[in-house]
Amino acid sequence: MTLLLAIVIGALYAGGVYMMLRKTVVKLLIGLAMIGNAANLLIFVSSSVVRSHPPIVPKGSSAVPAPYADPLTQALILTAIVIGFAVLAFALALVKRVYGEVGSLALEEMTVSDE
């Protein structure tokens, strides 16, 4: 499954980069979201792939019995998911505002900073 996930991650990165290179700023954001997901998955896979063993201490035990999925990467990814969402929400609001000001979503027309 690691190989399959690696392929999925590669495909997500490739798709994300391709979308970011499109002309319209909305596709750029979709690409950004895809790369965000890919990065989270990368961190997830890089620790270890363990099926169905969440890092939760069972009743009557004092520690998590091995094997278990790595809790630290999960904590980091959780933070990353939330931050990624915050960035995306802000970017979407910005795009809406930019369209209101510039009247276009074409990145080629957003090259002048001070007007």
Touching another protein, residues 16-55 (CB under 8 A): 17-24, 26-30, 33-34, 37-38, 40-42, 44-55
Q: Does 1 bind another protein (CB under 8 A)?
A: yes
Q: How many residues bind another protein (CB under 8 A)?
A: 91
Q: Output the smallest distance, CB 38 to another protein, in A.
A: 7
Which of 38, 18, 51, 24 is closest to 105 using CA atoms? 24
With binding defined as CB under 8 A, does residue 114 bind another protein? Answer: no
- Tell the smallest beta-carbon distance from residue 76 to another protein (Å): 9
The residues, ordered by sequence, that sit 6+ positions from 77 with a Cβ below 8 Å of its Cβ are 40, 43, 44
Supply the angle between the helices 25-47 and 71-102 in degrees, to the nearest 10.
Answer: 180
Q: Is 60 an interacting residue with respect to another protein (CB under 8 A)?
A: no
Return the residues of window 69-108 that contact another protein according to CB under 8 A: 69-75, 77-79, 81-90, 92-97, 99-100, 105-108
Kindly report each contact of residues 84-91 with a partner whose C-beta sits within 8 Å and lies 24 or more positions away, as own/partner.
84/33, 84/36, 84/40, 87/32, 88/29, 88/32, 88/33, 88/36, 91/29, 91/32
Q: Does residue 115 touch another protein according to CB under 8 A?
A: no
